[in-house]
Chain A
């Protein structure tokens, strides 16, 4: 607004009838105008010099905005730790966290507006089938993190026990839905064999209030929260029945082809963060306080348990590696579900080139 005002004054040629006008020989005003022009030039130069670059190095650091796909959460401790321990800086990267929707992150990377995003595994084949040129370059979770859980009185011990049950999940999309359908498919059940209820991200509440009988959620989140509230639960892990490609880092074909060194730097820093968090969970947890508002007031034990449960999911061997069978399985599930109309070339969808 101030700049606009300055520009307006500096550019305005003066009007007849104004108290002082350049046309009326206002020398003082002329001087003021020159001063203002100089100020504008200095202001613009300074503004340009302090603006962070989004797609190139700023000094020695490359600014990267990373869509995380979810709100600030302790599960992101490895990334917080990697920043706080200076791993990203060490690899010449200045990291900015972006907590927008997962699908937005995928679309932005696909359009080469951003270079990287954190996504769940099923998004890669789905997006590639729609023509998004994204490539999965680093596995973060080894096991697919989705679980089906119910109060013990429901007696849902195996996937077969889901038949006829009311099963709540955010909606028929995303990792929860894919995980549920994969689990049902493994034991020969159809979606029509259960009563599926779309409740948004309110699974904990609807199970606690008995609005539903079974819920689908992240094994490192909902079960721990519910157990902390004193509920006895039965848990069925999708990963116990089927190996599916899980959460990881994507980039796009352009970045991979034109700047593989950036991908390598980014993945190396992220993997270093994961390794650090696995080896130093307490310290990694402490870094979360800076990034997660309200964590001080939350139940610390529960939150630390969420982090530890997450860590069990992401101990890939070697770090960053995704299994070809997991990709084949994922594609099979998605084709069977109708979320993909045709097969894609999985060789183009991921690479283990950067795993350690």
Chain B
């Protein structure tokens, strides 16, 4: 009952905060007399939202971006987990691959996104890869850190219990590395949306990044706002999903804590 009350209060604060933000936005755009093509009023953005919801275009573009994000996330995660495991386990692999991995992180994604379009064509795959590339590093780092943080005594314990490699991975390494890994996944999930949108900015005729481009091209700033808010919602949705998974997977930690 107490938790329920806290939950209601949290939602209340959130709603109040959003309403206050909208009010300030409305007052600012009304009294500053900034033209709509520079900074539209909340009501103009709302009207534009209704139009793109009714004609189905927002849903169409959002689903394309979501598809790219999910595939990008899966690809980035798989590559990061596999590479991270070998980096954590083998000093030679770490020494050979680390310079490349670290160097690759200094390349701005916007600089290579056009090249990906040339190499892979203008289809969905170049956007998936842009998304995967941006997801890769934070997940990789957290995988390595998570695996390296498993206490040595627990390995000794597994050995004394004569656990095989598979059992060691399932029963020890995955649960032990999970909290740190999920921290990386939270960052990766948010970044995956940015990756896909950057890919769409460079060359696409579908997706929310494309919708932003269309809005800019037509001086329809309200449409740009609608697309940007949808991108934010998508990121928040993914972040929330990871938090949900985290709560479920790490419930044992909380129980132990209690």
For the complex, is A209 an interface residue (Cβ under 8 Å from B)? yes
Please, how many angstroms separate the alpha-carbon atoms of A130 and B36 in the complex? 9
Choose from B37, B118, B122, B217 the contact partner of A173 (Cβ within 8 Å): B217
Closest Cβ of chain B: how far from A139's Cβ, in Å? 21
Residue of B with least CB distance to A206:
B118
A168 touches B122 (CB 8 A): yes
For the complex, is B53 an interface residue (Cβ under 8 Å from A)? no
User: Which stretch from B70-78, B90-98, B184-192, B208-216 is at the chain A interface?
Assistant: B208-216
Q: Which residues of chain B are within 8 angstroms of A132 by Cβ–Cβ distance? A: 35, 37, 219
A211 touches B213 (CB 8 A): no
Choose from B37, B117, B202 the contact partner of A107 (Cβ within 8 Å): B37
Q: Which residues of chain B are within 8 angstroms of A103 by Cβ–Cβ distance? A: 216-217, 219
Closest Cβ of chain B: how far from A70's Cβ, in Å? 15
For the complex, is A14 an interface residue (Cβ under 8 Å from B)? no
Choose from A107, A172, A174, A200 the contact partner of B219 (Cβ within 8 Å): A107
A197 touches B35 (CB 8 A): no
For the complex, is B246 an interface residue (Cβ under 8 Å from A)? no
A173 touches B219 (CB 8 A): no
Closest Cβ of chain B: how far from A123's Cβ, in Å? 9
Please, how many angstroms separate the alpha-carbon atoms of A131 and B219 in the complex? 9
Residue of B with least CB distance to A201:
B114
Choose from B38, B117, B205, B214 the contact partner of A202 (Cβ within 8 Å): B117
A126 touches B122 (CB 8 A): no
Question: Which range contains the number of B residues in contact with the other chain?
Answer: 20 to 34
B218 touches A200 (CB 8 A): no
Q: Which residues of chain A are within 8 angstroms of B218 by Cβ–Cβ distance? A: 126, 130, 173, 339
Q: Which residues of chain A are within 8 angstroms of B138 by Cβ–Cβ distance? A: none
Closest Cβ of chain B: how far from A299's Cβ, in Å? 21
For the complex, is A199 an interface residue (Cβ under 8 Å from B)? yes
Choose from A106, A130, A198 the contact partner of B203 (Cβ within 8 Å): A198
Closest Cβ of chain B: how far from A91's Cβ, in Å? 30
Closest Cβ of chain A: how far from B126's Cβ, in Å? 9
Residue of A with least CB distance to B120:
A211
B121 touches A211 (CB 8 A): yes
Please, how many angstroms separate the alpha-carbon atoms of A201 and B202 in the complex? 8
Closest Cβ of chain B: how far from A343's Cβ, in Å? 16
A198 touches B219 (CB 8 A): no
B35 touches A173 (CB 8 A): no
B37 touches A110 (CB 8 A): yes
Query: Considering only CB atoms and an 8 Å cut-off, how many residues of chain A contact the other chain?
Result: 29
- B20-57: CB near A (< 8 Å → 1, else 0) gives 00000000000000111110000000000000000000
- B195-235: CB near A (< 8 Å → 1, else 0) gives 00000001111000010011011111000000000000000
A196 touches B37 (CB 8 A): no
Residue of B36, B204, B218, B220 with highest tally of chain A CB at under 10 A: B218
Closest Cβ of chain B: how far from A184's Cβ, in Å? 16
B122 touches A198 (CB 8 A): yes
For the complex, is A170 an interface residue (Cβ under 8 Å from B)? yes
For the complex, is A205 an interface residue (Cβ under 8 Å from B)? yes
For the complex, is A11 an interface residue (Cβ under 8 Å from B)? no
Please, how many angstroms separate the alpha-carbon atoms of A168 and B204 in the complex? 11
Please, how many angstroms separate the alpha-carbon atoms of A60 and B71 in the complex? 60
Q: Which residues of chain A are within 8 angstroms of B217 by Cβ–Cβ distance? A: 103, 126, 173-174
For the complex, is A171 an interface residue (Cβ under 8 Å from B)? yes
Q: Which residues of chain A are within 8 angstroms of B216 by Cβ–Cβ distance? A: 101, 103
B122 touches A197 (CB 8 A): yes
Q: Which residues of chain A are within 8 angstroms of B36 by Cβ–Cβ distance? A: 130-131
B210 touches A131 (CB 8 A): no
Q: Which residues of chain A are within 8 angstroms of B210 by Cβ–Cβ distance? A: 171, 198
B38 touches A107 (CB 8 A): yes
- A157-170: CB near B (< 8 Å → 1, else 0) gives 00000000000101
Please, how many angstroms separate the alpha-carbon atoms of A267 and B35 in the complex? 27
Closest Cβ of chain A: how far from B43's Cβ, in Å? 16
- Known contacts A111-B35, A205-B118, A339-B218; A200 and B205 CB within 8 A of each other: no
Closest Cβ of chain A: how far from B129's Cβ, in Å? 15
For the complex, is A346 an interface residue (Cβ under 8 Å from B)? no
Interface of chain A residues 103 through 138 with chain B (CB within 8 A): 103, 106-107, 110-111, 126-127, 130-132
Residues of B within 8 A of A (CB): 34-38, 114, 117-118, 121-122, 202-205, 210, 213-214, 216-220
Given contacts A126-B217, A168-B122, A206-B118, 18 further A-B contacts (CB under 8 A): A103-B216, A107-B37, A107-B219, A111-B34, A127-B219, A130-B37, A130-B220, A132-B37, A171-B204, A173-B214, A173-B218, A197-B122, A198-B210, A199-B122, A202-B117, A209-B118, A211-B118, A211-B121
Residues of A within 8 A of B (CB): 101, 103, 106-107, 110-111, 126-127, 130-132, 168, 170-174, 196-202, 205-206, 209, 211, 339
Q: Which 7 A-B residue pairings sit nearest by Cβ, starting from the closest?
A: A200-B203, A173-B217, A130-B219, A198-B205, A200-B202, A199-B203, A197-B122
